[in-house]
Amino acid sequence: MKLKNILSQSVISTDLKGTSKEEIIGELLDMLIKSGKVSDRDLAFSDLMERERKMSTGMQFSVAIPHAKTKSVRELIACIGIHKEGINFDSLDGELCRIFIMTLSAVDRTGPHVQFLAEISMVIKAKEARTRLLQAETPKEVLAVFGL
């Protein structure tokens, strides 16, 4: 899987404004809606929130990876958002989340979702990469962290 086929400047925000889990997920989802690859916003939002109810996607080191399988997409799509102050996302380490990587994938496809998360994880596990993401001022700078 090539990250450059999934991530572009149009699906990256370095200035998320939401103050709750629901607002952040909505803000990220709206970026994906603009890409034209989500057929039903309400269904996608519902699927994302259902996944959060099962178990928070707030990880550790200020990272959250909200994701869901949904009938509202035909292929894996993703976006990245940075929140300068951080919000409570019920993360595993109890810290505020500031880096958000959201994915939606088709209900009948498993491979691409797992592959994408593996590639993203290889980058964000490095403290230097997370620091660069938090310091990024533009989508182009975010893409550069992933070698794009």
Domain boundaries, the chain: 3-145
Nearest to 78 by CA among 59, 97, 104: 104
What is the CATH superfamily name and number for domain 3-145? Answer: Mannitol-specific EII; Chain A (3.40.930.10)
Name the β-bridge partners of 106: 70
Give CA separation, 79 vs 28, 93, 94, 103, in Å: 7, 23, 23, 7
According to DSSP H, which parts of 67-138 are helical? Answer: 111-124, 127-135
Q: pTM, whole model, 2 decimals?
A: 0.95
For residue 35, what are the contacts with CB-CB under 8 A and spacing of at least 6? 10, 11, 77
Residue-level pLDDT at 32 = 96
Tokens for 71, please give them: 């009938």
Query: In which residue ranges of the chain is pLDDT below 50?
Result: none
